[in-house]
């Protein structure tokens, strides 16, 4: 089995603000001396993980990221008529296995975790089973019971994107998928959109102005995205489940090619699918092809030029380093070559 699968995607988004900074502007980065639009890897992974693609393909194998697991446990205990003091103590013992608990309104016995924790379905089932057991016997959880909360991991999203709990390192999971920030292959200028909203009940007899005025920022661009998936680590993270490993890999590729971040979609409807996808497979040391766009692409046909640059960079790297992959396959939606099914089959083989 080839260890690494590398994906290189080109996706064009019309005017959009898919991923905002702290000022509400589209995120940017400087590369090759020019400003580019950027979509963070965190934004992309969140969109994929919560997409209908993942929910359908990986039903029953997706985790939940939350600080509020303690609240859920506490409510279950209280609903089963466990006293408030006992319920709070037992909850803190359970939730505390996944990290430090933060103070609740200045009180030291808070139920929320200080950092987001990613719970697998197996762990949630184990927590629920423990709650049922505690209610039935009416006593606090034992040390051994708390240790058993960590079950075999069958959460595909945790296996792909990892889990890091600084306060509970035994629960950590190294990510099998590395996702770069997507950047435009060309320079961009972020523009301002001044807009108004009309008050439907305003008859215009006294106030003839707009009911609301605002401003938002946007930009459009052709994005390059790079992913590297360690198939061996993915299989290891999924406890050797070969069928689930294939399903997870397929879901990730489909989501990367078809799912857009949700930022400002109601205002811009900036949904898009990858126009070009190059999949590379092999045991060789992975490398991004972002250097193909160090010099911004210019001209009337950005997509064709970007595809040409990618393929030229692949050829040149193979020329100087030797073959950087054992097998390659691609789809090109602009000219109707290849298919997503073929790419997925190549990556799984």
Which tens digit of pLDDT belongs to each residue from 63-103? Answer: 999 999 999 999 999 999 999 999 999 999 999 888 888 87
| CA-based nearest residue to 258, from 66, 36, 7, 59 | 7
Q: Is the pLDDT of residue 199 over 80?
A: no
Neighbouring residues of 29: CB distance < 8 A, sequence distance ≥ 6: 35, 36, 38, 181, 183
| CA-based nearest residue to 277, from 296, 254, 248 | 254
Q: Cα angle at 225 between 156 and 316, to 5 degrees?
A: 120
| CA-based nearest residue to 20, from 178, 193, 216, 180 | 216
State the pLDDT confidence band at 328, using cuts at 50, 70 and 90.
very high
State the pLDDT confidence band at 217, using cuts at 50, 70 and 90.
confident
* pLDDT number for residue 72: 92
Here the tokens at position 192 are 């301002």
In DSSP notation, 217-229 reads EEEEEEEEEEEEE
Q: Cα angle at 281 between 328 and 153, to 5 degrees?
A: 140
State the pLDDT confidence band at 6, using cuts at 50, 70 and 90.
very high
Contact by Cβ (8 Å): 1, 231: yes
Q: What is the domain partition of the chain in residue ranges?
A: 4-51+175-348, 65-154
Neighbouring residues of 169: CB distance < 8 A, sequence distance ≥ 6: none
CA 290 to CA 301: how far, in whole Å? 19
pLDDT tens-digit series, residues 112-129: 888 888 899 999 999 999
State the pLDDT confidence band at 208, using cuts at 50, 70 and 90.
low
Mean pLDDT of the region 235-246:
95
* pLDDT number for residue 337: 97
What is the CB neighbour count within 10 angstroms for residue 288?
16
Question: Mean pLDDT, the chain, as a whole number?
Answer: 91
pLDDT-wise least confident of 187-201, 241-255, 283-297: 187-201
State the pLDDT confidence band at 152, using cuts at 50, 70 and 90.
low
In the chain the first and final C-alpha atoms are separated, in Å, by 8
In DSSP notation, 285-342 reads PP---GGGGSSPP-SS-HHHHHHHHHHHHHHHHHHHHS-S-SEEEEEETTTTBS-HHH
pLDDT-wise least confident of 170-179, 228-237, 331-340: 170-179
Report how far apart, in Å, the C-alpha atoms of 253 and of each of 128, 256, 297 are. 33, 5, 26
CA 177 to CA 17: how far, in whole Å? 25
Report how far apart, in Å, the C-alpha atoms of 248 and of each of 55, 91, 123, 255, 347 are. 11, 33, 19, 10, 11
> SS3 sequence, 92-108?
HHHHHHHCCECCECCEC
CA 3 to CA 15: how far, in whole Å? 38
């Amino acid at each position: 089995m080839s260890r690494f699968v590398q994906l290189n995607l080109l996706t064009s988004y019309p005017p959009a603000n898919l991923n905002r900074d702290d000022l509400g502007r589209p995120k940017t980065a400087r590369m090759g001396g020019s400003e580019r639009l950027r979509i963070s890897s965190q934004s992309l992974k969140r969109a994929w993980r919560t997409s209908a693609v993942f929910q359908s393909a990986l039903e029953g194998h997706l985790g939940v990221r939350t600080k509020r697991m303690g609240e859920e446990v506490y409510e279950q205990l209280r609903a089963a008529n466990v006293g408030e003091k006992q319920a709070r103590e037992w909850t803190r013992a359970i939730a505390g296995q996944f990290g430090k608990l933060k103070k609740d309104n200045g009180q030291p016995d808070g139920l929320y975790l200080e950092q987001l924790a990613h719970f697998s379905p197996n762990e949630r089932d184990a927590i629920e089973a423990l709650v049922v057991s505690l209610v039935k016997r009416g006593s606090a959880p034992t040390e051994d019971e708390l240790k058993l909360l960590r079950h075999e991991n069958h959460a595909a999203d945790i296996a792909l994107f990892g889990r890091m709990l600084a306060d509970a390192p035994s629960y950590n999971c190294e990510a099998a998928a590395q996702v770069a920030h997507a950047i435009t292959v060309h320079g961009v200028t972020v523009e301002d959109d001044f807009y108004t909203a009309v008050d439907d009940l305003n008859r215009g007899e006294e106030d003839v102005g707009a009911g609301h005025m605002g401003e938002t920022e946007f930009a459009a661009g052709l994005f390059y995205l790079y992913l590297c998936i360690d198939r061996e680590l993915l299989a290891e993270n999924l406890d050797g489940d070969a069928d689930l490993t294939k399903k997870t890999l397929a879901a990730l590729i489909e989501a990367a090619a078809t799912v857009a971040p949700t930022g400002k979609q109601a205002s811009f409807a900036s949904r898009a699918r990858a126009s070009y996808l190059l999949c590379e497979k092999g045991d060789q040391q992975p490398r991004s092809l972002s250097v193909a766009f160090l010099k911004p692409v210019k001209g009337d046909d950005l997509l064709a030029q970007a595809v040409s640059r990618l393929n030229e960079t692949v050829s040149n790297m193979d020329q100087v380093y030797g073959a950087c992959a054992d097998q390659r396959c691609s789809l090109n939606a602009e000219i109707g070559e290849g298919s997503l099914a073929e790419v997925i089959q190549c990556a799984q083989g």
